[in-house]
Amino acid sequence: MPVQLHVVAGDHTHKLVDLIEGQKYVIGRNPDVDLSFEADSQMSGNHLQISCSGETVLIEDLGSTNGTFVRDNLVTSSTLANEDTFRCGITEFVIKAAETTSPEPPASAQTVVPAAAGAAPAAEAPKPAAPVFVGVSLQVEGFIEETAPLVVERFQLNDAFPISPNPDETPESFANRLIETGEPNHCVTFMAYALPKRAAVWWLTQCIEEVESLHGEEDGKLLKHVQEWVIDPTDELRRNGMQQAEALEMSTPTSWAAVGAFWSGGSMGPAENPPVEPKDELLGKAISGGAILASVFQKPEMAFEKQKVFTEIGLKIASGELSL
Per-residue pLDDT of the chain (324 residues; tens, 9 = 90+): 578 998 875 555 677 788 988 899 999 988 888 888 776 767 889 999 999 988 889 999 999 888 899 987 889 999 998 899 999 888 889 999 876 443 333 333 333 333 333 444 444 433 333 332 334 445 668 999 999 999 999 999 999 999 999 999 999 999 999 999 999 999 999 999 999 999 999 999 999 999 988 889 999 999 999 999 999 999 999 999 999 999 998 889 999 999 999 999 988 887 777 778 888 999 999 999 999 999 998 888 999 999 999 999 999 999 998 877
Q: What is the number of other CB atoms lying within 10 angstroms of the CB of residue 97?
A: 13
Residue ranges of E strands in the chain: 3-9, 12-19, 25-28, 35-36, 48-53, 56-61, 68-70, 73-75, 77-80, 85-88, 91-97
> Which secondary structure element, helix H or strand E, spans residue 151, and what is its range?
helix 148-154
Residues 87 and 185 in one domain: no
Q: What is the pLDDT of residue 118?
A: 41
Q: What is the pLDDT of residue 146?
A: 96
- Report the C-alpha gap between 213 and 297 in whole angstroms: 6
- Within a domain: residue 272? yes
The pTM of this model reads 0.61
Cα distances from 29 to residues 40, 45, 257, in angstroms, run 7, 4, 20
- Within a domain: residue 44? yes
Residues 87 and 152 in one domain: no
Domain boundary among 97, 123, 140: 97
- Report the C-alpha gap between 316 and 324 in whole angstroms: 11
By CB atoms closer than 10 A (0-12, 13-18, 19+), residue 101 is exposed
Provide the 3-class DSSP secondary structure of residue 121. Answer: coil
Work out how many domains the chain is built from and give that number: 2
- Report the C-alpha gap between 94 and 82 in whole angstroms: 8
Q: Are strands 68-70 and 73-75 parallel, antiparallel or unpaired?
A: antiparallel
Q: What is the pLDDT of residue 11?
A: 53
Residues 61 and 183 in one domain: no
Residues 154 and 294 in one domain: yes
Residues 163 and 296 in one domain: yes
| CA dihedral angle for residue 292, residue 240, residue 29, residue 67, rounded to 10 degrees | 80
HSE-CB of 271 using CA atoms within 13 angstroms: 12
Residues 6+ apart with CB under 8 A from 115: 121, 122
- Within a domain: residue 62? yes
Contact 55, 3 (CB under 8 A): yes
- Within a domain: residue 127? no
HSE-CB of 277 using CA atoms within 13 angstroms: 10
Provide the 3-class DSSP secondary structure of residue 173. Answer: helix
Domain boundary among 71, 97, 123: 97
Residues 300 and 167 in one domain: yes
- Within a domain: residue 290? yes
- Within a domain: residue 253? yes
- Report the C-alpha gap between 125 and 264 in whole angstroms: 34
Residues 304 and 199 in one domain: yes
Residues 215 and 303 in one domain: yes
- Within a domain: residue 114? no
Angle at 7 between CA 300 and CA 156, to 5 degrees: 65
- Within a domain: residue 119? no
Q: What is the pLDDT of residue 9?
A: 58
Residues 63 and 209 in one domain: no
Residues 188 and 88 in one domain: no
CATH number for the domain harbouring residue 28:
2.60.200.20
Residues 296 and 162 in one domain: yes
- Report the C-alpha gap between 256 and 283 in whole angstroms: 9
- β-partners of residue 58 are 51, 79
**Owning domain of residue 46:** 3-97
Residues 163 and 85 in one domain: no
Q: What is the pLDDT of residue 115?
A: 35
- Report the C-alpha gap between 29 and 47 in whole angstroms: 8
